[in-house]
Amino acid sequence: MNPFDVIKQRMQLRNSQYASVSSAFKTVYRTEGLSAFYVSYPTTLMMTIPFTAVQFTTYEYLKDVINPNGAYSPTTHIIAGGAAGAVAAAVSTPLDVMKTLYVSIAPEA
């Protein structure tokens, strides 16, 4: 997914020079090489690991608080899942912003 994120972020830049996904891919590859598609990989890992850890921990906690007897309850899963996703996003969004800014800054030619 990381190479696709790089292309997406480069194309979302204001006044982007890229007219299509293929032109963005070709230009980035030609001017910056294969490593440009993985420049934010460490940041992606630093964002994904905490997000997942917080999400699952929060989900399990909320699921037990909302439904202590453990009976099947889709409503419990929806509420606990939504809240867990919100908490995890709040924790990891600063890292996502850093990754986006780092990837989006095209190197000086």
Q: Is residue 64 part of a domain?
A: yes
pLDDT at residue 105 in the model: 63
pLDDT exceeds 80 at position 14: no
Q: Is residue 91 part of a domain?
A: yes
pLDDT exceeds 90 at position 41: no
- What is the C-alpha to C-alpha distance for residues 5 and 23, in angstroms, rounded to an integer? 15
pLDDT at residue 13 in the model: 78
Q: Is residue 109 part of a domain?
A: no
pLDDT exceeds 70 at position 107: no
Q: Is residue 40 part of a domain?
A: yes
pLDDT exceeds 50 at position 62: yes
How far lies 82's CA from each of 31, 58, 70, 79, 86, in Å? 42, 10, 18, 5, 6
Instruction: Give per-residue pLDDT as tens, 66-95.
Output: 999 999 999 999 999 999 999 999 998 887
Domain range for residue 37? 2-104
Q: How many helices (H) and strands (E) does the chain have?
A: 4, 0
Q: Is residue 52 part of a domain?
A: yes
- The model scores a pTM over 0.95: no
Count of the separate structural domains present in the chain: 1
Nearest to 92, CA basis, from 45, 48, 26, 37: 48
> Tokens 């490593």 label which residue?
35
